[in-house]
Structure 1
Amino acid sequence: MVNPQWLRSFATLAELGNFTRTAERLGLTQAAVSQHLRHLEEQLGPLLLRRPRRVELTPAGLALLDYCAEVERAGRRLQLRLGEADAEQGELSLISPGSIGLALYPLLLGLQQSNPGLRVRHRFAPDSEVLEAVLHNRYELGLVTLKPDDPRLHARHFAEEPLELVVPVRAEVTAWNDLARLGFIDHPDGQAMAGRLLSRRFPGSPGVRHLPCHGFSNQVGLLLEPVARGLGFTVLPRYARQAFGRQDAIRVLEGDPPVVDTLWLIHRAEWPLSARARRAVEHLAARLEHRSV
């Protein structure tokens, strides 16, 4: 790689045509400028011809001047990528659980529409996969429901998400037997979520494992379809329920005490977030804060 200081001296000399003025502009001695030129010519051959009042570039010198311009442009592009200008362009990568993902993905697409230079890459995944993907730099941002204790990860509070007991709109549920009559619509986290919520809502009950299972789906976006058709009830996070398109066919069974999960935003601790990631986080957090329940 050619020494950047030598290139700077050569490009300035080519512009000004004079060793003395080149040294003055760069804050160097004339001997230092001559030394830089000598080093370059030792590598690349004759670069300029010295005339009484100016210098004339050789073909090799003209080629090197073009290279200097390319290096300068590449440097500017690098600064744009590393600086604030990249808030409006480049890849924005996020990996998150499905429920919060249903809420965030449309917001990310809205941000991309406002900034066509952005490219959104979003994946739904459980906590374990989120942690691995962020640790191995496959995604810049991640969301998890359990705060990690790995020193390589920085974690900050992002949002709260209550668990909800969702039943068909016309279902009458006042006791545990009513849930048993409806039957449970299960999902990969269903047993754990229902166990946490139902043990508080119906203390002393036999538990979710004793309820008849009337269905299962691993697609969080489709999980409420059997509930809307009257085939059973389920327990899932609020953002998943809000994303369902047929709200008039389901009903949230309110009650105390609530069960609320904290969502943690994670990224690698060793380096700062990109400008576009910081902007996206602010955008998403503001939209979620004002999201209607």
Structure 2
Amino acid sequence: MINPQWLHTFAVLSEMKNFTRTAERLGITQAAVSQQMRQLEQQHGQLLLRRGREMTLTPAGLALLQYHQEIQHAENRLQIRLTECESTCGDVGLVSTGSIGLRLYPLLLDMQQQHPGLVLRHRFAPDPEVVEAVLSNKFELGITNIKPDDARLNASCFTKEPLELVVPAGKTIQRWQDLVDLGFIDHPDGRAMATRLLSRVFPGNPGISSLPISGFTNQVSLLLAPVARGLGFTVLPHFARSSFAEQAAISVVSSEVAVVDTLWLIHRREWPLSSRAERVVAFLRGQLKC
């Protein structure tokens, strides 16, 4: 059996890629880190390649790191099963895309205040990482914009979210030229979202490429700051807009047409949700009225 302390030290070293910083993280001496690595390499062969300040894992090192991760996941699953009868204490991990995450995170904090025994972890991630995080058991719950086609996952409709055309407060948008005059605040999904919505609001328009770009950010929580300052318009999901603090400084352009996306709640199909995860889902759905 591999010494658990040595294995933990190796995992930290593979993350820090530096013996001194690893020793500081663990609160031990650098000599102790080196000794533990020598012990592991005597048992399992060369685990690390060091060239100057660079450090990489050998195939044996990668296999050992994967083994450590599998042990951690197994321990997490055991803890969930041992305490699954407890609905108001223990750990629940939720990973979601950015827009819905901005709406959910304050709600998770509200729930944790009501039930201090709960430990609610949330992470923002793009769709592929949401799916991978749930498949790898790093998070029990995930919310994604795309329904995954994977037999290992259970997916159910969580809520609906429309796209919105957002402009500075007081701006009137009646024709395509009004958007041209403002300029587009772009983001990683901006062109795709704008194309989907504006093709319906302004049918036959010249296309998003004809709009001048007046700004860009990859942080959805910051996307409306330039709009609020009158620097342009953008297209983004409803929950990202509704979570913005300065609502009086922006305006949503109303339209008779709508583009509405489904958000999917996913979890591993092989075992049921813990009772506390079910409680979290029920609370969030109740707050969103979905």
TM-score of the superposition, structure 1-length normalised?
Answer: 0.71
**CA 1:216–1:150 in 2, change beyond 3 Å: closer, same or farther?**
same
- The CA distance in 1 between the partners of 2:143 and 2:108, in whole Å, is 14
Please give the secondary structure, in 2, of the residue aligned with 1:221: helix
CA distance in 1, matches of 2:80, 2:93: 20
Which digits, 9 at most, give the CA deviation of each residue in 1:55-99, with x for residues without a partner?
xxxxxxxxxxxxxxxxxxxxxx979844422x1111110000110
Aligned to 1:190: 190
| Residue 251 of structure 2 corresponds to residue 287 of structure 1 | no
User: Cα distance, 1:171 vs. partner?
Assistant: 1.1
Mapped to 2, the partners of 1:267 and 1:132 lie a distance apart of 11
**Secondary structure of the corresponding residue to residue 173 of structure 1:** coil
C-alpha displacement of 1:288: 0.6
Q: Secondary structure at the match of 1:134?
A: helix
Q: Distance in 2 between matches of 1:179 and 1:81?
A: 57
Q: How does 1:4-19 map to 2 (within 5 A)?
A: none
- Give the Å deviation of 1:126: 0.8
Residue matched to 1:137: 137
Is 2:84–2:276's contact at 8 Å kept on the other side of the alignment? no
The match for 1:207 is 207
For 1:248, the equivalent position in structure 2 comes to 248
- The match for 1:126 is 126
Q: Which has the larger radius of gyration?
A: 1
CA drift of 1:264 comes to 0.3
Map of 1:103 onto structure 2: 103
Q: Which residue of 2 aligns with 1:174?
A: 174
Task: Give the secondary-structure state (helix, strand or coil) at the position aligned to 1:163.
Answer: strand
Give the 3 Å change call, closer, same or farther, for CA 78–210 of structure 1 in structure 2.
closer
Separation (CA, whole Å) in 2 of partners of 1:151 and 1:203: 39
Aligned partner of 1:153 in structure 2 is: 153
CA offset digits 1:117-137 (Å, max 9, x no partner): 111111111111101111111
Cα separation, 2, equivalents of 1:80 and 1:153: 18
TM-score under structure 2 length normalisation? 0.71
Q: How far apart, CA to CA, are the structure 2 residues paired with 1:79 and 1:276?
A: 9
What SS does structure 2 have at the residue aligned with 1:264?
Answer: strand
Alpha carbons of structure 1 residues 78 and 233: separation in structure 2 relative to 1, 3 Å: closer
**1:99-151 deviation line (CA, Å, top 9, x unaligned):** 00000000001110111111111111111110111111111100111111100
In the alignment, structure 1 residue 84 sits paired with structure 2 residue 80: no
Q: Please list every run of 5 or more consecutive structure 2 residues that lacks an aligned counterpart in the other structure.
A: 1-77
C-alpha change, 1:78 and 1:144, in structure 2 (3 Å) is: closer
Give the % identical residues. Answer: 60
**Matched residue SS, 1:93:** strand
CA-CA distance at 1:186 after TM superposition: 0.5
Q: Check conservation: 2:81, 2:274, Cα contact below 8 A.
A: no
Q: Distance in 1 between matches of 2:212 and 2:245?
A: 26
2:263: which partner in 1?
263
Do 2:164 and 2:253's aligned partners in 1 also have CA atoms closer than 8 Å?
Answer: yes
Q: Distance in 1 between matches of 2:254 and 2:172?
A: 13
Tell me the matched-pair count: 213
**2:206 partner amino acid:** P
Q: Is the 8 A contact 2:80 2:274 kept in 1?
A: no
Whole-Å separation in 2 of the counterparts to 1:214 and 1:83: 51
Per the alignment, do residues 191 and 79 of structure 1 end up closer, same or farther by CA in structure 2, a change over 3 Å counting?
closer
Aligned-partner SS, 2:264: strand
Give me the CA root mean square deviation: 1.5
Q: Give the aligned residue type for 1:148.
A: P
